[in-house]
A = this chain, B = another copy of it.
Amino acid sequence: MSTYPIDERNKVKRIPKRGHYDKKTVYEILDAAFLCHLGFTHHDQPFVIPTSYGREGDKIYLHGATTSRMMINLEKGLPVCLTVTHLDGLVLARSAFHHSMNYRSVACFGTAYKIEGEEKLHALKVISDQILKDRWEESRQPLPKELKATTVLCFTIDQASAKIRTGPPGDDKPDYALPIWAGVVPCTQVWGTPEADPLLADGIEMGKSVKALMK
């Protein structure tokens, strides 16, 4: 699989060995999440909004209410930066200076535009699948008025960079002799026990989608 073009915009300058530009790595990090932080600029003011997304090839789909400020701004065709971060652990070094985190992150760059019709419905399924596979098929499908109330945006990833840190702390040589505990405290996101809607009618079983989360 190919690699994204590298220039000033996406080059990892600080600790370059942590930078990756191949699509395989970028896709893996994007596909392991469904919540991103989306950045755009409006009247010289940056905004960063948490939102869900779906990836298909180099296309990223985003959705929101037609009335949402983010959607109204972005459908005009603004440059965006979409960032996804997995925190994998705290890296505790002997020196305060060498403390770090283990993480996998991706920043993607592109220009969002609004999509309609069949592609819009398809994009909503892609977003739903990214959040929870099989849930789309289990759900009551969108009505025309619901589609009308929803804006769906797409952007092609023009450029991206991934940044990954793994492994134990790296202290300065003399500090290894210090009597200070050092290591990594792993961090993960876990699903709890599903809580049925208090208004759920009796005898309705959880779908395949929810059961898969409990494995």
Residue from the list B40, B188, B191 in contact with A185, Cβ < 8 A:
B191
Q: Which of A77-128 contact B (CB under 8 A)?
A: 79-83, 85, 87, 89-90, 92-97, 99, 101, 103, 105, 107, 109, 124, 128
Report how many residues on chain A are interfacial, defined by Cβ distance under 8 Å. 93
- Interface status of A139 (Cβ within 8 A of chain B): yes
Residue from the list B83, B105, B178, B195 in contact with A186, Cβ < 8 A:
B195
8 extra A-B contacts, CB within 8 A, seeds A96-B124, A181-B196: A14-B69, A37-B85, A41-B44, A45-B81, A52-B101, A138-B181, A185-B191, A185-B192
Interchain CB contact under 8 A, A107 and B9: no
Interchain CB contact under 8 A, A201 and B188: no
Interchain CB contact under 8 A, B52 and A47: no
Residue from the list B107, B168, B194, B209 in contact with A47, Cβ < 8 A:
B107
A41 / chain B contacts, CB cutoff of 8 Å: 41, 44, 46
- Interface status of A210 (Cβ within 8 A of chain B): yes
Chain A, 184-213, contact with B by CB distance < 8 Å: what is the 0/1 string?
111111111111111111001111011001
- Interface status of A32 (Cβ within 8 A of chain B): no
A68 / chain B contacts, CB cutoff of 8 Å: 13-14
